[in-house]
Amino acid sequence: MTKTPYTRNLGTTGPQVSALGLGCMGMSALYGEADRAESIATVHAALEAGVTLLDTGDFYAMGHNEMLLGEALRTAPAALREQALVSVKFGALRDPEGNWSGYDGRPAAVKNFAAYSLQRLGVDHIDVYRIARLDPDVPIEETVGAIAELIEKGYVRHVGLSEVGAETIRRAAATAPVSDLQIEYSLISRGIEREILPTTRELGIGITAYGVLSRGLISGHFTRDRQLAAGDFRAHSPRFQGENLQHNLNLVDALREIAERKGATVAQTAIAWVLSRGEDIVPLVGARTRERLTESLGALDVTLDAADLAAIEKAVPADAAAGDRYPSAQMAHLDSER
């Protein structure tokens, strides 16, 4: 496939994918109820629009998201299904009540998780496989080594990483070729620019950026009086609380002025900013409906020149956000924040 402005490579060893990927988590978990039929229709619409990278996790609603994505792939036209590349995160441990109880990166667990994911997704291989968070009790070399064994047997195509810091990235890359690091990156989450992004670029590892709209906070659609549904984890997210929320939505108001001058939406401008940060970065958009997907895809046609980027930097400087990106208990699991 010839590389176009709408395709990018996942690092020097990874596959060519669409310039935007679709993050499927919200179709099953953490944002309240979702419409299954609309979710599947959104996956189909993404594939029809040329989106090839689909991201999920085996722990999103305890397998629900993989089964939903599997159904979407099974019911898509064959030509579109064959173009899809599936990225899967594994390792998070949960109980029947949905509580979180750590991460498991042991080689036997890696292979066990993969076996179940292949079955739920209805595929014969996973394109990119990554542990969601570093298991502090298992060396990353062992976890990545197990993925490499799955690659040798044809069950996985590429090693990915998620939310790990520069030292862990180097150790992983010394064990096996790594296609990409999945990590939060947006106008208001720019921590990777200090050490992590320079490291991935040195090693030829791509970035799949999630949270590009900061879970809707900088989408232009989140209002100060919005009542979050039961089960929506944003109700406990520091950036959505009290004065933090007011401060952060003030940043959105400043961004809105720039977006309107560009004839774009706030969401499109925020996504376009992430796209502008380098050809090695592929934003994942968490659209749950065809309407939001269409808006997000419009970012591909938004060009930000030097004056635009300077105006955005002034409106939303690095480290301008109020509040951490996760509650403290979850921040403690992030090797990328150490």
Confidence (pTM)? 0.94
The domain ranges of the chain are 7-337
Q: Which of 60, 103, 129, 326 is catalytic?
A: 60
Report DSSP state, residue 256: H
Q: How many residues does the chain have?
A: 338
% pLDDT > 70, the chain: 98
The CATH class that applies to domain 7-337 reads alpha beta
| Average confidence score pLDDT of the chain | 94
Helix (H, G, I), strand (E, B) or coil at 90: strand
Cβ neighbour number for residue 130 with a 10 Å cutoff: 31
For residue 222, give both structure tokens.
């989140």
Can you give the three-state secondary structure of 158-199, one letter per residue? Answer: EEEEECCCHHHHHHHHHHCCEEEEEEECECCECHHHCCHHHH
Judge whether residue 65 has pLDDT over 80.
yes
Q: Count the helix, strand and coil residues of the chain and give each as a percent rounded to the nearest 5.
A: 45, 20, 40
From CA 291, how far away is CA 238, in angstroms rounded?
28
- Asked about 60 being catalytic, the answer comes back as yes
Placement of tokens 């951490």 in the chain: 324
Tell me the pLDDT tens digit for each residue of 229-259. Answer: 767 778 788 898 889 999 999 999 999 999 9
Judge whether residue 2 has pLDDT over 60.
no
Weakest mean pLDDT among 79-88, 91-100, 156-165: 91-100
